[in-house]
Homo-oligomer: A and B are copies of this chain.
Amino acid sequence: MENFADRLITAIRNKNSPVVVGLDPHFKLIPDAIKQPFVSLLKKNSLEYAASVILEFNKQVIDVVAPHVGIVKPQIAFYEAYGWWGVKAYAETILYAKEKGLIVIGDVKRGDVPSTAEVYAAAHIGEMRIGDVAATPFAADAATVNPYLGSDSLRPFIQTAKDYGKGIFVLVKTSNLLSGEFQDILCGQKKLHEIIAEKTNEWGSTLIGNEGYSSIGAVVGATFPQEMVTLRKIMPKAYLLVPGYGAQGATAKDIKHCFNPDGLGAIINASRSILYAYSAEPWKGKYTMSTWRNAAEEAVIAMNRELRGG
C-alpha cells in the first residue's frame, strides 16, 4: 500500500502545485445559476435543497480546479450545516473528487478518547466492519485531528493511517487570531504548540515514505510566519497543511518558510479566495456571478503562479 505522503507528493508534482482548494460551501455566496435547478426543493425541505446546491457547486468547482491542483479539502462543518443531507453531500463530494484523481483531506478536526477515536478513524479514513462486511463511510485520504486529548487519543488515527495508506494532520498552531491563547502558553522553556510539534514529529517517525516525508503532518497557520520558521525545524519531515492564505490575509511571502529547501513539505489551502473569486478583489471588477467559473480558474492559476514565485 502506497504511503500517503508519497501519494501527496506525486499529486503535487503532477500539477506542479502545492495548492489545496478548500471546499467550504457558503450557501449565500453560491451563484444563483447553481441554485436555480433545485429551487423547487426549498419548500419541501430547505436542508435537502441546500445540500443539493452545495454538492452541485462542489462538482463544478472540482471540474474547474482539477487541471491546476491535486488536492482538495472539504471542511465538514459546512456540510453538517445542512444536517444528514449535508453529510451525504460531504461523502459524495469526496467520491467525486477522487474520481477526478484528486487527493482529499477531510477537515474534520476530530479528537476523542481512544475507544471513540478508533471509531472516528475508521469512519473517516478507514473501514467499518458490519458483521462480515467491510464498508467505507467516508473515503477521505487524510483527516485533520485535534491533539488536546493526548497521544492515546491519536494512536487510533495513526494506526488507521498506517493500515490504509492514509494520512493525518495534527492541529499544532492554528490560523485564528487568538490561537495563541492556549497554543502559545509557555510550559517551562517551550510553548505548548512546540511541545505538540515535537510529539507530532515523533509520531510521524514510523510513517516516513520513500520521499522522506511522513504521513503524519501538521496544521500550521500562515498567519504566524515566525512560528512557522520554528515549527518547520521541529518537524522537518512533516507535511504542513497551511491555512490562512488569501481571504485570511497571509501572502506568498508569509508562507515561504513552510517549505523545505527541497521545495516540498507544505501544502497551502485557499478556499473563499478561489471559490468566490468573482465576488472579491482583485477579480470582482473583471468577473460577475455568472462568470464565477472563470474567476475561480484565474484565481487558482494566479495562486499557483504566486507560490512558484513568478
A interface with B by C-beta (< 8 Å): 24, 27, 42, 46-47, 49-50, 75, 77-78, 80-88, 90-91, 109-114, 116-117, 119-120, 122-124, 128, 130-131, 133, 135, 137-138, 146-153, 171, 174-183, 185-188, 192, 195-196, 199, 243
Contacts and interface: CB of A to CB of B under 8 A. Distances in A.
Contacts of A130: 27, 42, 46-47, 49-50, 82
Count copies of this chain in the complex: 2
B181 A151 contact: yes
Contact of A183 (B42, B47, B131, B148): B148
Contact of A146 (B42, B90, B111, B187): B111
A3 to B, nearest CB: 26
Contacts of A90: 84
A79 B42 CA distance: 27
A173 to B, nearest CB: 10
A69 to B, nearest CB: 21
A78 B116 CA distance: 8
Contacts of A116: 24, 75, 77-78
A75 B148 CA distance: 18
Contacts of A47: 128, 130, 135, 137
A148 B182 contact: yes
A147 B178 CA distance: 11
B182 A185 contact: no
A82 B187 contact: no
